[in-house]
A and B are shown apart, each in its own frame.
Chain A
Amino acid sequence: MRSLSPEAIHADPWAEEFVDLPTLNSKASDAIEECVQKARTKAREAPRSLRSTSIVVLGPPGVGKTHLFSRLRGRLGPRAVFIHVRPLVSAPMTPRFVLGELVKQLAYTTHGLAQLDALVGSLLAHLSGAATTFPSTFLAEYQQLTAAERDARLDEAVEKAVAIWQEVDDTYLRRLLQAPFTSGATQRALLAWLSGRDCDVTQLSRIGAGASLAEELVVPALRTLCSVAALGAPIVLVMDQLENLIEGAEPGARLLGYANLAAELVDVMRGLVLVHMALDTEWTRGIEPALNMSQRSRLLMRTETLALPTPREREELLRLWIERLPERAGPYPWPFTDRRLARVLRTPGMTPRMLLVECRQALDAGGADEELEVAPEQASGREPGAASPALGLTGQWEGCLDAARQVQAEASEQRTSVDAVRVADGLLACGHFLTDAHISTSTMGEPVQLVIDAGKAKRQAAVLHHSHYKSLGAALGKLTSFAARAQVVAIRERARDLPPTWKDTLAKRSVLLGTGSAQWVWLEPDDVTRLLALDALLQGARSGDVTNERGEPVDVASVIEWARANLGVPEWGIVRALLGQSAEEHEVEATANVAPEPQAAAPAAVPLTTGVAVAILRQLRIASVERVVREAARIDPLATRATVLSELEAGPGIRFFGRSIVCVRVQQ
């Protein structure tokens, strides 16, 4: 039963099915809906005076902040575009990060319709003077046109949008409008470009672009996106779990960076509905006091404090959950006894999450009237979220791992790497578990993100996620100059191995490694999974969203303690590699002089072959080596370029055309 499963204790912002009691906190959801409607109306009637709005939504853990997001998504459907963002820990949040998240989530669906389709469909409908109620129908009409006719109509739409707002970036808008009418690799390339990610050469040539989105075009791109969306489906940008921005007692760079970003979004964007969600206590004591007057006046346009369910609402919620149980041993209030139900309904301070936990416990007890807990006034006085003796966070950890794998799968599907900043967040989270070393954010500048202080010397670490050889080359060049005055570590996902055709980049890498102050660390898929999961677990703990097997909240210190005892973070290959304690299974390159020949950087020992590469090639018949490497890495996480090449070279009937194309002769 999904509705009462452990993972259901925490709201999934993208869940298609969820239990909702519309009357609970309707004031907050109405406030946001009202902002969306106002933005749309203003965009249509007085576009020049369209501005952004900002709402702060506060409440204790489990009160339903994230649920509010799901509810609004369900209620507004294609009439708004919803973006859910967790804050960054390792680096200040930037407009580029927001743009990336925004475009990434345009691919997510609500009521079976991709948000991208909703945005473009309703925009085109409005610009054509039609109703925006059914964007998919309107898109279908465009689909039936010939490519030339469609392009002409899209050009016309761009001109109309530019006539409304002169600041609209027509190149960006044109590509945005084209996206729903493309598919496969072209759509991936378009979305990669629109999101401001570093596109590779193939992607750029596919969409006819000369370069990825430059830094100075990011804010105009965001402004374009927000403005045009407001005509049909305004963008609701929800910044959740903002308590994670707090660093110690003093306002840190992260928080100030966020406040500046939010103020800029309010000032510069048109029609954006910005929602900030945080724990009430943390906002009033840690976040709001750190904001200056100007930031407060922009962020705090409206504050909504979410209410706890009243006894009547509690009963209605319980009824809704219980009615969804597939097998019920008795009529309502089963699995509650009357006595137990009365206690649950009258105990003060019950959040919806606590109610769900009570429901689960009653279900586990099989409807029996177990020994009632002591009345609140006689309770032991345990500190909030204090750890219960047996924590049992394994299920929670597994959930984080699954979510991380899903993120990796999405990135892989988009032929890109996982967000470098999220990987850096994960590495920063590892710092909590190191006794002899310290990991912190670096002030050295791009591309360096972290400082690893292992006692002997500080090392500057950079996660290199670049897709284009030129941008990677530029980053390597900067790292080489840093290497003259500090020890540097370059980290890159194994799945994004450098192809042999990137001769210039490989040479630059060799130069970097040749400085003797640099180290190259390959990030294996499992490392990425664990880093993302660890970051999510600790951020969740700070937000009061981590619960034990009984569903009770567990505080940050206890979560860290559990992770210390169970996850063995200091023994993770990537952590050992970063600390210079190179794990055997981890491929660490250089620190000594390396010959500029690219092949010299390959691992000395050729690992055993698994037959995966040959099997893939037999299916594809003819393919690029890159493709085979990519597919093999997806199936076998241990597969590397070297293993695939050696397997192909040894495989029967396999023939290479140059260094890039390979085919297999199939026996009839």
Chain B
Amino acid sequence: MAGARKRAAIAIADVDELVSRARAKLDEDGVIKLTALGPKAARTAIVEQLCALGFEATKSVIRRPIAAQLADALAQGSFVPVKSIASFVRGGSAADAKTAAAKLIRDGVAVRVFRGSAELIVPRSAAVLSPDELLAARRLVQSLGKVLTKATRARGATLLVADVTEEIREALPVVVRAAPASAPVRVPAGLHTHEADALGRVLEAVDATRDEKMGLSFIPQVVNHLQPELGADTVRRVLLDAAGRGIVELRPEGGLNRLTADELELCLPGPQGTRLSWARRTEGRVQ
């Protein structure tokens, strides 16, 4: 009798404190074992309060909702491979995580994508192809495949880079659209119209060919991007001019003989025997 009264006393006096302690642990770790909640007598009350606060209870643990954990990971920019999805959540199995991921996809929070053979869940904000773009890409590959087969079978024949590029751009404008947001092309005053036009197009090409992570554009790619409308010499001259005006930073090649003869030809000669193979928009930097 005295024991029962004591248990009741513990439950009433400590539940609030135990709940707040459990919440702190849940905020930090995302999961807490039922056995770590507190005295057995108080557990039911604690679990009820935590569930009322939106936490999930299983047979052995209380956890932050799996969907919320995944949504957090996605919000931080993580691409979640389905194969290892369980490692992104605490207190849940892979099956739980997959169910939560399916819900997030249904709710439009996440998107399912393939990268090579791997299946991933990515945030809605990630640049992905729309259904129409997927179809267009498929059609492009088929039509381009035919031309490529024809060209490779005919000895000595090849394709114009410009034609291939143009076909890709027409079928998949997303390739251009996917280029990261860049500084607006502001052409310096005092240039002739044709010079301003060339500079504007080169800067657009620098943006379109930029490697998103490094923020650099490979100069041979910039040159190829603009051919045949602008010749290689013109592009290189415009790049040098842009570098002189502080609009573009030209950078020396740091690779270990990675440039092919063609790429070397398209790069600009740099100081002390180097080759300038990378370009970066520098507008906004103090000159």
Taking Cβ atoms with an 8 Å cutoff, the residues of A that contact B are 46, 48-49, 58-61, 243, 246, 279-282, 284-286, 288, 293-294, 297, 300, 303, 305, 307-308, 310-312, 346-351, 354, 357, 376-386, 388, 542, 544, 551-553, 555-557
Tell whether, in the assembled complex, residue A351 and residue B285 are in contact, meaning their CB atoms are under 8 Å apart: no
Which chain A residues lie closer than 8 Å to B236 at the CB level? 377
What are the residues of chain B within 8 A of A310 when measuring CB–CB?
246, 282, 285-287
CB atoms of A281 and B269 under 8 A apart: no
Which residues of the other chain, B, contact A311 by a CB distance below 8 angstroms?
246, 287
**Given A280-B254, A297-B78, A384-B253, A305 contacting B214 (CB threshold 8 A):** yes
Residue from B79, B115, B252 in contact with A384 in the complex, judged by beta carbons closer than 8 Å: B252
In the complex, are the beta carbons of A281 and B274 less than 8 A apart? no
Task: Give the chain A neighbours of B181 by CB distance below 8 A.
Answer: none
Q: Is A348 touching B253 in the complex (CB atoms < 8 A)?
A: no
A583 to chain B, nearest CB (A): 34
**B residues whose Cβ falls under 8 Å from a Cβ of A:** 28-29, 78-79, 81, 84, 115, 118, 120, 211, 213-216, 236-237, 240, 243-244, 246, 249-259, 264, 268-278, 280, 282, 285-287
B81, B214, B256 — most chain A CB neighbours (10 Å): B256
Within 8 Å CB of B81, what residues of A?
293-294
Question: Is there an interface contact between B287 and A377, defined as CB atoms closer than 8 Å?
Answer: no
Given that A279-B255, A307-B285 are contacting pairs, would A300 and B273 also be in contact in the complex, using a CB cutoff of 8 Å? no
Please, which residues of chain B bring their CB within 8 A of the CB of A555? 256-257
| B interface SS class | mixed
B254 to A544, Cβ gap below 8 A?
yes
Q: Which residues of A contact B249 (CB under 8 A)?
A: 307-308, 348
* Inter-subunit contact A281/B240 (CB<8 Å): no
* Contacts known (A348-B276, A385-B274); A280 close to B268, Cβ less than 8 A: no
11 other A-B residue contacts (CB within 8 Å) besides A293-B81, A354-B271, A377-B240 = A59-B254, A60-B253, A305-B280, A310-B285, A348-B240, A349-B268, A376-B268, A376-B270, A379-B273, A385-B274, A557-B257
Nearest 6 A/B pairs, CB to CB? A281-B255, A379-B269, A60-B254, A349-B270, A279-B254, A348-B243
Asked whether, in the complex, the Cβ of A282 is within 8 Å of the Cβ of B240, the reply is: no
Question: Is the CB–CB distance between B214 and A284 below 8 Å?
Answer: yes
Bound-state CA distance A460–B274 (Å) is 41
In the complex, what residue of chain B is closest to A379 when comparing beta carbons? Answer: B269
Q: How far is the CA of A555 from the CA of B269 in the complex (A)?
A: 16
| Bound: A108/B271 CA distance, A | 37
In the complex, what distance in Å separates the CA atom of A379 from the CA atom of B287? 25
Q: Identify 7 residue pairs between A and B in the complex whose beta-carbon atoms are under 8 Å apart, listed by A's number.
A: A49-B29, A280-B214, A310-B286, A376-B268, A386-B273, A388-B273, A553-B274
Q: Which of B28, B79, B211, B287 interacts with A48 by CB under 8 Å?
A: B28
Closest beta carbon of chain B to A188's beta carbon, Å: 40
- A281→B257 contact, CB < 8 A: no
In the complex, the answer to whether A354 meets B272 with C-beta atoms within 8 Å is: yes
Check A60/B251 contact, CB under 8 A, given A297-B79, A348-B240, A348-B243: yes
Q: How far is the CB of B97 from chain A (nearest CB, A)?
A: 16
The smallest beta-carbon distance between A247 and chain B, in angstroms, is 12
Cβ contacts under 8 Å, A288 to chain B? 213
Whole-angstrom CA separation of A60 from B236 in the bound complex: 20
Please state if A349 and B252 are interface contacts (CB–CB under 8 Å): yes
Contacts of B246 in A (CB 8 A): 310-311
Q: Which residue of B lies closest to A386 (CB)?
A: B273
* Contact residues in A for B259 (Cβ distance below 8 Å): 383-384
Inter-chain contact B273/A294, CB cutoff 8 Å: no
CB contacts (< 8 Å) of B79 on chain A: these are 293, 297
Q: What A residues does B214 contact at CB under 8 A?
A: 58, 280, 284, 303, 305
Name the CB-closest residue of B to A267: B87
> Which residues from chain A contact B269 at a C-beta distance below 8 Å?
376-382
**Least CB separation from A283: chain B residue:** B214
Distance in angstroms from B265 CB to nearest chain A CB is: 8
Name the A residues within 8 Å of B255 (CB-CB).
279, 281-282, 285, 384
Q: CA A101 – CA B257 in complex, angstroms?
A: 31
Which of chain A's residues has its CB closest to B277's CB? A281
On whether the beta carbons of B256 and A243 are closer than 8 Å, the reply is yes
A627 to B268, CA, bound (A): 62
Q: Looking at the complex, which one of A350, A381, A383 makes contact with B271 (CB distance below 8 Å)? A: A350
Q: Are B118 and A293 in contact (CB under 8 A)?
A: yes
Could you say which residues of chain B place their CB within 8 Å of the CB of A542? 256
Complex Cα–Cα for A288 and B277 (A): 19
* Bound CA–CA A293/B80 (angstroms): 9
Q: Is A349 touching B254 in the complex (CB atoms < 8 A)?
A: no
The answer to whether B258 and A376 touch across the interface, beta carbons within 8 angstroms, is: no
How many whole Å from B245's CB to the nearest CB in chain A? 11
Q: Is the CB of A281 within 8 A of B286?
A: no
Q: In whole angstroms, what is the CA distance A382 to B246 when docked?
A: 25
Task: Look across to chain B and name the residue whose beta carbon is closest to the beta carbon of A544.
Answer: B254
A279 to B274, CA, bound (A): 14
Chain B contacts of A383 at CB under 8 A? 257, 259, 264, 273, 275
Taking CB as reference atom, which chain A residue is nearest B278?
A: A280
Q: Which residues of B sit under 8 angstroms from A293, Cβ to Cβ?
A: 79, 81, 115, 118, 120
Most-contacted residue by chain A among B115, B237, B258 (CB, 10 A): B258
- In the complex, are the beta carbons of A49 and B253 less than 8 A apart? no
Nearest-neighbor residue (CB-CB) of B120 within chain A: A293
How far, in angstroms, from A552 to B272 measured CA to CA in the complex? 6
- Tell me the complex Cα distance, A200–B28, Å: 44
Known: A383-B275, A553-B274. A281 touches B268 (CB 8 A): no
Q: How far is the CA of A297 from the CA of B87 in the complex (A)?
A: 13
Contacts of B277 in A (CB 8 A): 281
Interface centre among B254, B271, B286 (most CB of A within 10 A): B254
Contact (Cβ within 8 A) B28 A348: no
CB B188 to nearest CB in A, in angstroms, measures 16
CB-CB under 8 A from A59, the residues of chain B are 254
Which residues from A are CB-within-8-Å of B250? 348-349
Given the known A-B contacts A293-B79, A349-B274, A357-B272, are A49 and B28 also in contact in the complex, defined by CB atoms under 8 Å?
yes
**Whole-angstrom distance between the Cβ of A55 and the nearest chain B Cβ:** 12
